[in-house]
Structure 1
Amino acid sequence: MRKVKLQLLVLLFFLLPISGSAFDVGDVESFNIESSYEAKNQNEVSAVLVKISNELLFYIDQDWWESLDQENQERVGSIIYDLGVEFENHIYPKMTSTFGKEPVHTVDKSGRTTVIFHNMARGVGGYFNSGDQYSVYQNTRSNERNMIYISTSYLESPFLPGFLAHEFMHLITFNQKERRHKVVEEVWLNEARAEYIPTFLGYENNNDNLERRMNSFLKDPNTSLTEWEGGEKNYGVINMFTHYLVDHYGVEILIDSLFSKNVGIKSINDALKKNGYSETFADIFTDWTIAIVLNDCNYGDKYCYLNPKFEGLKVLPDIRDIPSTHSSSFSQRVPTKNWLGRWYKIVGGKDDLVFEFDGESGLNYQVPYILCDYKDKCIIDFIELDENNNGKIVIEGFNDYSEFIFIPSLQSKIAGFNGKEKEYYFSYKIATDSVAEKEKYREFLLNEIRKLQAEIERLQSQNVCRIEQNLSVGSSGESVVCLQEFLKKEGSDIYPEGLVTGIFFNLTKNAVIRFQEKYASEILAPLGLTNGTGFVGSATRAKINSMIR
C-alpha cells in the first residue's frame, strides 16, 4: 500500500495522540475496493486517515474529502468522532460480549479495525470483504487488515451507527465460523444476523430503517429466504423472518447458531435444540408464513409478531375472485423455490368450494390454509398431501365464508445455498359446485353404481357354481367338484385334506359333517339333529349356496 502525508485542516477535536502508533492522522493510503459496489466501478481508492481511536481507524476517500470546504470537513469530522465514541462505548462492548470478538489479523498487528468511507453505487450502504483477512500471497487484492467499507452517502444518515454495526457483525461472523470452525456461513444467515443487529443495539427505536425493510418486503414478498441476490427484496424478507424468529425464540438462536460448527439451517436447528425447543427451522418458517398474513395473537402467539413495531404488518395475498352467479373453476401452474412464501386469497363463489393442490413428486411442500367467516372468525389448518404431493379439500357452503387463504411453500433443500436457486413448480385448481348440479351429479353416480352392481350379479351367476342336487358317498360330477372347492375354501378346520377329485368319498363326507356341525343351528336343528350326517340334503345345499353367492 502507498503511504504519504497530507496536511489536514485544523481538526484538533478528534485527534487522539497515540504513542508509538504506526498510523498518523493525515496519512494517505491506497486501498483495493470492490468495483461492483463503487460508484464509478473503480477497484482502487486513495483515502486519508481522519481519526484514530482505540478500536478503529477512520479513512475517507481523499478526492471526496478534499472536495469539502473547511466548515464541511469539520462537520464530517464531528460525525466521525461521535461515531467512534458510539462504537467504543456501546456497539463494540455489547456485540463482542454477546457474539464474540472480531478476528486477530494474521498480518496487521495494530489491533484496530479500519473503516473506510468511499463513493458507492446507489442503494449500497456498505460491505465486508473476507478477502482482506488473508495476506497478499493468498489473495493479491487483500488490504491485509480487518476492514469495513461504508458509503460516503450515509455519513449524515441516522442509519450510520447501524450500518457500522451491521458490517462489524460480518467481521465477527468470519472469526466465529471461518477462523474457529473452518466453515463458511451461508450468506442469507450471515445477513440475517447482521440485519438484526440495529434492533439488538436499540437503534430501531430512533429511526425508520425497520420501516424501510418492511416496505421492501411488502413490495416483493414472494422472495426466497435462502436465495441471496443482494437486493432490497432480499433484505426485506430476511429482516421480517429474523425479527419473527427472535421474537418467539430469543436472540440466543442467533448467538448459538453462530457458535455452531454447522452453517445455515442446520445451525439454527442446533441452536433450537440447545435451547430446549422441539420446533425446527421448517416449523418456524411455516408458522411465519401464516403469521405474516394473519398477525393476530388471538389465534396463538406463533401466529403473530410480539414486537409492537410489527403490529398491523400483513402481507397482501394474490386475490382470486370466484363468480357467485354460477359454477366455475380456475387453475394455475406456479413457479417456486425453496423457502419462498406465496399467499393466495380466494373470495366469492357459491355453495361448495373444491380446492386441489398438485406439487412435484419427491419434494417437501407445506400448504397451510386460513378459512375465515364474515365475523372474522378464522380456522387454521393444513392440506394433507399424499406421496405424490396431491391434496384436496372441499369447503361446504363456501358462501358462508368471507375468504380462503392458502400458503404453499417448498421446504426440501436445507443446505448448500449459494446464489441463484433452482425453480420448481406446483399447480392448484379451484372449483365451485351449485347444490342443484351437485345433486344431479350424485344421482348420475348412483345410477352408474346400480349398473355396475347388476353387471356384477350377472357375471357371478355365470361363473359361480351351485349345488342343485343332493349328494352323498359315491356321488360324482361337477356338483361334487363345486362342493369340494367350497369346503376347501372354508379352511383346514373343515377340510384339512383339501382334495378336489369330483368323487364323494369318506374324506368329503367327514368335511361335510364338520361343516354341518359348525352351522348346526341352521342345518341340523331344524331337522331335530345334533350331529352331522355327511349327507348333502336341501338344508345343507341351501346354506352352501347362500355362502357361495
Structure 2
Amino acid sequence: MSDHGGYWQRVGVVLVFGAIGALLSAGGALAWNASPDTGPGGAPFEPGEGAGPEWGCPSPHSPVPAKISPEKSTNARVVGEHETFRVDGSAFNTTCVQVGRHCVISVEEGARVDPAAITQLRQDFDEIIYPLVTETFGAETDVDGEERVYIAIIAGPGDWVGVFDPLSLLSINHKDVFYIDLKSASGAGFAATAAHEFQHLVHCGHDFDEGYMIDEGCSLYAELLYANFSTEHLPEFDVYRHHPEVSLHWPEDEYLERRNMGAHYGASGLWILYLSEQYGDLSGDPDHAHFIRDLVEEHANGFEGVDAVLARHGYDDRSEDIFKNWTIANYMDDTGVNPRYGYDSIDFAAAVPVEAMVEFNAPEPNDGSYSFPPVTLPAWSAAYYTIGSDDVGNLSYTCEGNCWCQCIEEANRTATVVVSPLNVSGDAVLTVHAEGGREHTREKYSSHGT
C-alpha cells in the first residue's frame, strides 16, 4: 500500500503548533479568497512572457502581497525558477514548470514528466481541486504569503504516491507545499493524489495534531469528491469491507509499521463519507452544509471531535450510536430498509464476507443453541455471522465478552448478525438460540479460518 503522506504529520506537530499559534496571535491573515478570474490583489492573469512553447503556462500579473507579516514580501514565481525542497532529511532541487491561479508546479531537476499531464494537473487543481477542497475543508494557512500552493513532483524514496510534510509548511521550507512521486505523475490518480495531499495541508493548518482516522478519512473523502463519487480508483473501501475486523480507530503502531494500511484507509474514508451523508454536507440539510469543515476546525480529536461537532450541530447521536449503524451500513448498503443502513453516493462491488456460519435446519423437540468459536476483536471493529434456519424469526442471540450484537437482516431463511466490542478490545463469543431447532455442526464454516 502506498504512503498517502502521514508519517511526517507526527514528527512536525510541535513546530506547526508553535508557528501557527504565533501567526494567530500576531493577527496575520491565514487565507486569500480571490475571484477565480483574478490573481493576487485582484490583478488579472495574463499569458506569461518567456514561457517555453513546451509548457505554455500562465504567470501572474503582479507580485504576491504579504499576508502573514508586514515585513514579508514574496515575488510571483516564474517558469524556469529553481527551488530546493527538503523532505525527511533529503534535498530535492526542482524547476518551476507551470504557474497557475492557485498552484506553482515544480519538477525535480533531471526528471521528465509529460507536459500535457502537468497542464492537466494545473487545470484540475485550479478549476476543481482548489475550490472543492477549500470549500469542503477550509482555507489553506498560506504561511508563505505566496497565495499559491506548491506542488513538487519528485522521486521520493520507497513505494509512496504523495506526501504532505508539516515541517515543509513552517520550519524547513516555510511553504504551502505537498509532494507527488514521479511514478504517479500521470494517469487517473495524478490529480486525485493532489486532492488527497492538499486536504492534509489544509487540515494541518486548522488542527495540526488530528489523528489518522479523521485526517486520512478526510483525504480519502477529498479523492472521492474529486472523482465525482466514482470508486474505480479507491479500492480501499472494499479492502476494509473484506476486513471489518480491522479497527476504525487507527493505532499509531499500525500506521508507522504500515500494517493493514488498505483496510485502515478504507475504514477512515467510509467513516467520513457516512458522517457527511447522514449528518453533514451531503445530508441535504443546508444547516449542516459545513459539517466536515467544522470537523476539520475542531481541535478535539478522533471520536471526541466528532461528538463535539455533532453537539454543535444539534444532534443527539454520538460516535458509538453512529458506529453501530455504520457497521450495518457497510454490510447491507440498503437505505431502503433504513436510511441509516447504507450509502447514497457510492455502490459496493462485492458482498462482505462473514466470520462464520451455522445452519439450524433439523427440528428437534428441545431448543437448539450454538456458540461460535471466540474471535478476538480490537476496539471499534466488527464481525458478521450468518445463521440459517427455516424460521429465522425465532432466533435469538447473546454475546459474551461485553460485546454488542444485533441481527441486521432476515431474508431467504437466513439471518445475519453483527458483533462489535465497541470501545474495548476483547474476545467475542456469539451464541445463537433457536426454538425447536438444533444446529448441524457439520455445516458450519468460517471465512476467516476460525
Please provide the CA RMSD for this pair. Answer: 3.3
CA 1:196 to 1:15, structure 2 compared with 1: closer, same or farther past 3 Å? same
Separation in structure 1 between the aligned mates of residue 198 and residue 213 of structure 2, nearest angstrom: 16
Question: Which residue among 213, 219, 234 is the counterpart of 1:188?
Answer: 213
Task: Tell me if 1:357 matches 2:399.
Answer: yes
Task: Tell me if 1:208 matches 2:228.
Answer: no
CA 1:430 to 1:83, structure 2 compared with 1: closer, same or farther past 3 Å? same
Give yes or no for contact 2:214–2:272 (8 Å, CA) kept in 1: no
Match of 2:279 in 1: 249
For CA contacts below 8 A with separation 6 or more, give which structure has more relative contact order: 2
Gaps of 5+ in 2: 1-49, 64-74, 282-289, 439-450
CA 1:410 to 1:259, structure 2 compared with 1: closer, same or farther past 3 Å? same
Match of 1:90 in 2: 128
1:343 is paired with a residue whose SS is strand
2:229 is paired with a residue whose SS is helix
Match of 1:149 in 2: 179
- Listed one character per residue, the Cα deviations across residues 42-81 of structure 1 (whole Å, up to 9, x for unaligned) are x34332221223432212222332xxxxxxx5xx222222
Give yes or no for contact 1:297–1:304 (8 Å, CA) kept in 2: yes
Give yes or no for contact 1:346–1:403 (8 Å, CA) kept in 2: yes
Give yes or no for contact 2:60–2:101 (8 Å, CA) kept in 1: no
Separation in structure 2 between the aligned mates of residue 329 and residue 97 of structure 1, nearest angstrom: 52
Higher fraction of helix: 1
Match of 2:56 in 1: 13
Separation in structure 2 between the aligned mates of residue 243 and residue 147 of structure 1, nearest angstrom: 26
Match of 1:221 in 2: 244
Alignment map for 1:215-294 (pairs within 5 Å): 215-228=238-251, 229=255, 231-251=261-281, 252-294=290-332
CA 1:337 to 1:215, structure 2 compared with 1: closer, same or farther past 3 Å? same
Alignment map for 1:98-497 (pairs within 5 Å): 98-105=136-143, 108-120=144-156, 124-135=160-171, 142-178=172-208, 184-201=209-226, 203-205=228-230, 208-210=232-234, 212-228=235-251, 229=255, 231-251=261-281, 252-307=290-345, 309-310=346-347, 314-322=351-359, 324=361, 329-347=370-388, 355-360=397-402, 365-370=403-408, 372-374=410-412, 402-412=413-423, 423-430=425-432
Give yes or no for contact 1:322–1:328 (8 Å, CA) kept in 2: no
Name the aligned partner's letter for residue 155 of structure 2.
N
Gaps of 5+ in 1: 1-6, 36-42, 66-72, 136-141, 179-183, 375-401, 414-422, 437-549
Match of 1:384 in 2: none
Q: Kindly name which structure, 1 or 2, has the bigger radius of gyration based on alpha carbons.
A: 1
Give yes or no for contact 1:322–1:349 (8 Å, CA) kept in 2: no
CA 1:368 to 1:26, structure 2 compared with 1: closer, same or farther past 3 Å? same
Separation in structure 2 between the aligned mates of residue 14 and residue 435 of structure 1, nearest angstrom: 74
CA 1:121 to 1:350, structure 2 compared with 1: closer, same or farther past 3 Å? farther
- How far residue 127 of structure 1 moved from its aligned partner, in angstroms, is 1.9
Q: Give the number of aligned pairs.
A: 359
1:285 is paired with a residue whose SS is helix
Report the TM-score when normalising by structure 1: 0.58
Higher fraction of strand: 2
Separation in structure 1 between the aligned mates of residue 221 and residue 305 of structure 2, nearest angstrom: 17
2:267 is paired with a residue whose SS is helix
- How far residue 16 of structure 1 moved from its aligned partner, in angstroms, is 2.6
Separation in structure 2 between the aligned mates of residue 435 and residue 13 of structure 1, nearest angstrom: 76
Regions of 4+ moved over 6 Å:
349-352
CA 1:233 to 1:328, structure 2 compared with 1: closer, same or farther past 3 Å? same
Give yes or no for contact 1:165–1:198 (8 Å, CA) kept in 2: yes
Report the TM-score when normalising by structure 2: 0.70
CA 1:328 to 1:110, structure 2 compared with 1: closer, same or farther past 3 Å? closer
Match of 1:49 in 2: 96
Name the aligned partner's letter for residue 242 of structure 1.
I
2:56 is paired with a residue whose SS is helix
Give yes or no for contact 1:339–1:409 (8 Å, CA) kept in 2: yes
CA 1:88 to 1:286, structure 2 compared with 1: closer, same or farther past 3 Å? same
